[in-house]
């Protein structure tokens, strides 16, 4: 079975591929990404929820490739920022900026704040390509979405060099190391994305 990951983020491709490969029942899945489809359209993430963005990406890419597609949308929600950056996590500090810039902006925004609580949230959608032989009314269930979360807190400065995004400043509950320090094996077991993915793989 072929499964397209609707992302060009190589860090995310690596992470999702590793998670899927550890599931025994899915070892026969051939994983593709948008690197394999250079002409795939850019999907504008203009939804107001993680679920909406993940669903849109999954259905657009499924229809373009003609293959079952998995898409995710995730964000970091910080208590002191009333849940920001949230669904805007990637572009909160501006378009096409580095992870270091995003992290710096967030740390400056909560400097001196005592409540450092935060959580990562991920929505994963799996969509089937549209079937031209079926009426639209019978295809409303062609996309399914699940949610995963991981509670934790934000530290004062980045630590660790693995992962991506805000990983170097997020320490999950029950641990004393950041996502970026824990290593792939541990992170891929406890993260928001892994929790959502385990639920999503049941849909396959």
- In tens, the pLDDT along 41-63 reads 999 989 999 999 999 999 999 99
Give how many domains the chain has, as a whole number: 1
The b-or-e profile of 17-33 (16+ CB within 10 A means b, else e) is: eebbeeeeeeeebebbb
| Percent above pLDDT 70 for the chain | 93
DSSP symbols for 1-52: -EEEE----HHHHHHHHHHHHT-GGGTT-EEEEGGG-TTPPPPP---SSHHH
What value does the mean pLDDT take over residues 8-37? Answer: 81
What value does the mean pLDDT take over residues 160-171? Answer: 92
Q: Who's near 104: CB < 8 A, 6+ residues apart?
A: 93
Instruction: Supply the pLDDT for residue 27.
Output: 63
Q: How confident is the model at residue 95 (pLDDT cuts 50, 70, 90)?
A: confident
Instruction: Supply the pLDDT for residue 136.
Output: 61
Given a cut of 70, whether residue 25 has pLDDT beyond it is: no
Instruction: Supply the pLDDT for residue 111.
Output: 95
Span 68-86, pLDDT tens digits: 999 999 999 999 999 999 9
Q: What is the CATH number of the domain that holds 96?
A: 3.90.950.10
Q: How confident is the model at residue 9 (pLDDT cuts 50, 70, 90)?
A: confident
Span 167-197, pLDDT tens digits: 999 999 999 999 999 988 899 889 999 999 9
| Domain boundaries, position 81 | 2-201
∠ CA 189-53-151 to the nearest 5 degrees?
Answer: 35
Q: How confident is the model at residue 137 (pLDDT cuts 50, 70, 90)?
A: low
Given a cut of 60, whether residue 24 has pLDDT beyond it is: no
167 is catalytic: no
Q: Which among 72, 73, 99, 167 is annotated as catalytic?
A: 73
């Amino acid at each position: 079975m072929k499964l397209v990951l609707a992302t060009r983020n190589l860090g995310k491709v690596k992470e999702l591929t590793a998670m899927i490969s550890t599931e025994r029942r899915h070892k026969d899945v051939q994983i593709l990404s948008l690197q394999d489809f250079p002409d795939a359209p850019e999907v504008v993430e203009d939804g107001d929820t993680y679920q909406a963005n993940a669903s849109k990406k999954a259905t657009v890419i499924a229809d373009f490739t003609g293959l079952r597609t998995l898409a995710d949308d995730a964000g970091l929600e910080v208590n002191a920022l009333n849940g920001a950056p949230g669904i805007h996590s990637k572009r909160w500090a501006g378009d096409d900026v580095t992870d270091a810039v995003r992290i710096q902006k967030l740390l400056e925004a909560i400097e001196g704040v005592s409540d450092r609580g935060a959580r990562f949230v991920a929505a994963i959608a799996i969509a089937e390509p549209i079937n031209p032989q079926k009426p639209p009314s019978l295809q409303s269930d062609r996309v399914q979405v699940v949610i995963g979360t991981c509670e934790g807190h934000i530290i004062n400065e980045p630590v660790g060099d693995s992962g991506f995004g805000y990983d170097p400043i997020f320490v999950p509950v029950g641990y004393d190391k950041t996502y970026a320090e824990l290593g792939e094996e541990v992170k891929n077991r406890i993260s928001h994305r892994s929790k959502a993915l385990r639920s999503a793989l049941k849909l396959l």
